[in-house]
């Protein structure tokens, strides 16, 4: 106890510091930012770290990037964003720590990021996907060649600290920098509260939530969904920013919106996360499954990447390695309400203990304070 009390007194004596967060997208628009630095900001503030978000893209550019064509408009938007980012780089030295989330610029090599080193401030590089690989949405294949995924290695080397979203990404980062910690993407367990479910004669709902960039994973899963519908009368529900293409699968689509996201997921009785076993999927952070689990909804996920780090098969969720295993897990959960409740409660406990906003933000805060107090970057 004396050591804990002394640590608390030391934290109280720390002067407040500012963390300048150079992020790719406007606040509230993308999961990687929302469930990491944006969500941690309140807890970081309590720890004496004031976060100033500086997005590269504005909402107009974001809208353009999700549309087919319009190459000239996209190029003009990127140039305007680059000018804004140069101004942010010029005043980043007013902060005490500089955070680069994924990349300071959506296109090009790590030139702007290298300029940040002139300020001699600690630089934290945070990433939550295998962004060192080529991966883009269909609307932006023209810009794929401009993303320079190789710059991720440069950003790892540049960082006073690298914060990776899972063990797979941390292993990559350690090839370029020994100063690496894992801080998972987190869930605000105050907002994500389970609800009491009345089991009756209604159909069981199996749901998926996600963005257009991961929609292909669901679309490739259509044969399994068709097989399930042949076995059981269930409702398939999808929440996303566009409807999926699921031939032969009747489904209910709900457009994604921040205000309704949690309530839409609460309508699921079972949450799914199918993924292929490829390099990109192995680098994905656990997000969908954590959203399901935080709401007390049993999750069934492909036995790939970080899903296998989060889920203990048969205890707090289910892992599936093939079509038959997927169908077995899903039909078992559809048929057994008590199993759904049991798995859901254990999943909620897992999130509270390991993946809550407070747990993850405090780990991040202590690492940032260590950088400042040890004089890194100066």
Domains along the chain? 15-186+357-374 (3.40.50.2000), 205-355 (3.40.50.2000)
Query: What pLDDT is attached to residue 147?
Result: 67
Share of the chain above pLDDT 70, in %: 91
Residue 140 pLDDT: 53
Task: Look at residue 251 and tell me whether its pLDDT is greater than 90.
Answer: yes
Averaged pLDDT for residues 48-77:
86
DSSP SS3 for 190: coil
pLDDT at position 1, please? 40
Closest CA to 119 of 178, 162, 160, 179: 160
Q: Which tokens go with 13?
A: 């004596």
Reported confidence tier of residue 2, pLDDT bands at 50, 70, 90: very low
pLDDT at 96: 96
Weakest-pLDDT range from 4-8, 313-317, 357-361, 372-376: 4-8
Q: Is the pLDDT of residue 203 over 50?
A: yes
pLDDT band, residue 229 (cuts 50/70/90): very high
**Predicted pLDDT of residue 206:** 98
Please report the pLDDT score of residue 4 as a whole number: 42
**Cα 81 to Cα 54, 77, 88, 257, distances in angstroms:** 11, 6, 11, 25
Checking if the pLDDT of 254 tops 60, the result is yes
pLDDT at 126 over 70: yes
Q: Counting runs of H as helices and runs of E as strands, what totals does the chain give?
A: 18, 12
- pLDDT computed for residue 69 by the predictor: 76
Q: Quick one: average pLDDT of 24-33?
A: 91
Assign 150 a pLDDT band (cuts: 50, 70, 90). confident
pLDDT at 201 (0 to 100): 66
Report the alpha-carbon distance of residue 50 to residue 42 in Å, rounded.
Answer: 9
Residue 279 has pLDDT above 50, yes or no: yes
Looking at residue 10, what is its pLDDT? Answer: 47
- In the prediction, which pLDDT does 377 show? 63
Least confident range of 104-113, 181-190, 248-257: 104-113
Q: What is the pLDDT of residue 107?
A: 82
User: What is the rounded average pLDDT of the residues 232-254?
Assistant: 96
pLDDT score of 146 more than 70: no
Q: Is the pLDDT of residue 304 over 50?
A: yes
Counting beta carbons within 10 angstroms of the beta carbon of residue 229, is it exposed (0 to 12), middle (13 to 18) or buried (19 or more)?
middle
Average pLDDT in the chain: 90
Question: In DSSP terms, which residues pair with 117 in a beta bridge?
Answer: none
What would the pLDDT profile of 174-184 be if each residue is shown by its tens digit? 999 999 999 99
For residue 12, what pLDDT is reported?
A: 52
Confidence of residue 268 (pLDDT cuts 50, 70, 90): very high
Rounded to whole angstroms, the Cα distance separating 317 from 308 reads 10
Among the ranges given (44-58, 65-79, 361-375), the one the predictor scored with the smallest mean pLDDT: 65-79
Q: What is the pLDDT of residue 144?
A: 56
């Amino acid at each position: 106890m004396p050591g804990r009390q002394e640590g608390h007194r030391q934290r109280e004596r720390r002067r407040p510091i500012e963390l300048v967060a150079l992020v790719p997208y406007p606040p509230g628009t993308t999961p990687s930012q929302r469930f990491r630095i944006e969500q941690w900001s309140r807890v970081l503030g309590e720890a004496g770290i004031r976060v100033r978000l500086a997005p590269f893209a504005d909402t107009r550019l974001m809208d353009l990037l999700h549309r087919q064509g319009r190459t000239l408009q996209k190029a003009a938007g990127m140039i305007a964003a680059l000018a804004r980012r140069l101004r942010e780089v010029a005043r980043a030295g007013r902060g005490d720590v500089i955070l680069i989330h994924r990349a300071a610029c959506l296109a090009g090599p790590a030139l702007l990021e290298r300029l940040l080193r002139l300020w001699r401030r600690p630089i934290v590089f945070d990433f939550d996907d295998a962004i060192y690989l080529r991966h883009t949405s269909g609307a932006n294949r023209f810009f794929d060649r401009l993303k320079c995924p190789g710059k991720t290695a440069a950003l790892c080397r540049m960082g006073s600290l690298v914060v990776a979203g899972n063990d797979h990404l941390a292993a990559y980062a350690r090839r370029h920098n020994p100063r690496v910690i894992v801080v998972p993407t987190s869930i605000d367990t105050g907002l994500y509260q389970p609800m009491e479910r009345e089991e009756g004669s209604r159909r069981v709902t199996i749901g998926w939530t996600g963005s257009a960039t991961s929609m292909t994973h669901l679309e490739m899963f259509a044969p399994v969904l068709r097989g399930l519908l042949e076995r059981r009368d269930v409702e398939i529900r999808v929440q996303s920013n566009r409807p999926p293409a699921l031939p032969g699968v009747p489904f209910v689509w709900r457009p994604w919106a921040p205000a309704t996201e949690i309530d839409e997921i609460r309508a699921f009785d079972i949450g799914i996360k199918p993924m292929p076993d490829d390099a990109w999927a192995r680098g994905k952070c656990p997000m969908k499954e954590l959203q399901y689990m935080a709401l007390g909804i049993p999750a069934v996920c492909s036995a790939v990447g970080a899903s296998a780090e989060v889920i203990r098969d048969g205890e707090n969720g289910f892992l599936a390695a093939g079509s038959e295993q997927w169908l077995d897990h899903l039909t078992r959960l559809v048929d057994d309400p008590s199993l759904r409740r049991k798995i859901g409660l254990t999943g909620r406990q897992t999130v509270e203990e390991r993946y809550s906003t407070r747990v993850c933000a405090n780990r991040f805060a202590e690492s940032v304070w260590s950088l400042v107090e040890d004089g890194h970057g100066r």
